[in-house]
Structure 1
Amino acid sequence: MAIHFFEEDIRSEIQQKRNLKNWIKKVAAGKSFRIGNINYIFCTDEYLLEINKAYLNHDTLTDIITFDQSERFGEIDADIYISAERIRENADILGKTYQEELRRVLIHGILHLCGHRDKSPAEKKSMREEEDKALNLFDSADVPRGTLKK
């Protein structure tokens, strides 16, 4: 049972890995899910675009694609592809730091795996609220502090 971070032709610049893993587990547990094995794969826009075309028939850039590999309800097993380039650009557009936007995208994938959707305007609003709640957990004292850089 583990959360892994991989890089495919790009540096993720991920920080506080231990804190992130604890936080992800805490958010999942709050939704009555347990973490099995999660692989976060950081990649380029081009790499993720090819995945988007091949598996989802979408010819658009995106920041995240989540593949649910779970075999048992309540346990999360997944491969989550994230464009580090999209994270950087979206952070600049939104006036956030790279790390802030990275956390939002990391947890966005987890929330999808816990059953949250974001297709309709109401679902998008609900997803954003759930992301904000989760982000507040990371910022709270409940997640052990410390910096574990790559």
Structure 2
Amino acid sequence: MAINFTPHEVKINLKNRTVLKTFIKNLFVREGQGLKNLQYVFCSDEYLLQINQEFLQHDTLTDIVTFELGEDPAITEGEIYISVDRVKENAQKFKVTEEHELHRVIFHGALHLCGFKDKTKDQSALMRQKENEYLELYFGTN
């Protein structure tokens, strides 16, 4: 089981990586989802927009794009792309620290891979509830 954090042409200040990797593994366990391999790629708005356009045919800026790459739906093999630019802007917009917003998005991507959606109002509400639950668990223990 591997979780990797890779910056792509951006600088990222991600503290306590080992603790965070263990926490993400436990998130998958709590949600009853197997995990084999998970790659987080931190990038710019421009790079994530290219991915969004090429693979999802969306011509909009976003903070995160998540891809499930495995063939077994019970065992996650995925890639999560996170725009550091969006994280910084959203932190200001929502009046939270960049660290808090970055972790919200990290957990958001993991939750997508555990089967949570956010297309409808009800799905979005549940996703936000789960994000908040994991933020409390993570920051309450660190």
TM (norm. structure 1) is 0.91
Would you say 1:121 and 2:89 are equivalent positions?
A: no
Coordinate RMSD, CA, aligned = 1.0
Aligned residues of 1:38 and 1:79 also touching (Cα < 8 A): yes
Q: Tell me the matched-pair count.
A: 142
Larger RCO (CA under 8 A, 6+ residues apart):
1
Structure 1 residues not aligned, in runs of 5+: 146-150
In structure 2, the partner of 1:7 is: 7
Amino acid of the structure 2 residue aligned with 1:52: N
Alignment of 1:52-63 (within 5 A): 52-63=52-63
Tell me the distance in 2 between the aligned counterparts of 1:119 and 1:135: 21
- Cα distance, 1:32 vs. partner? 0.8
In structure 1, the partner of 2:101 is: 101
Amino acid of the structure 1 residue aligned with 2:23: W
Structure 2 residues not aligned, in runs of 5+: none
Task: Among all aligned residue pairs of Structure 1 and Structure 2, give the percentage whose two residues are the same amino acid.
Answer: 40
In structure 1, the partner of 2:81 is: 81
Deviating beyond 6 angstroms after TM superposition, the runs of 4 or more aligned structure 1 residues are none
- Cα distance, 1:16 vs. partner? 1.2
TM (norm. structure 2) is 0.96
In structure 1, the partner of 2:22 is: 22
In structure 1, the partner of 2:134 is: 134
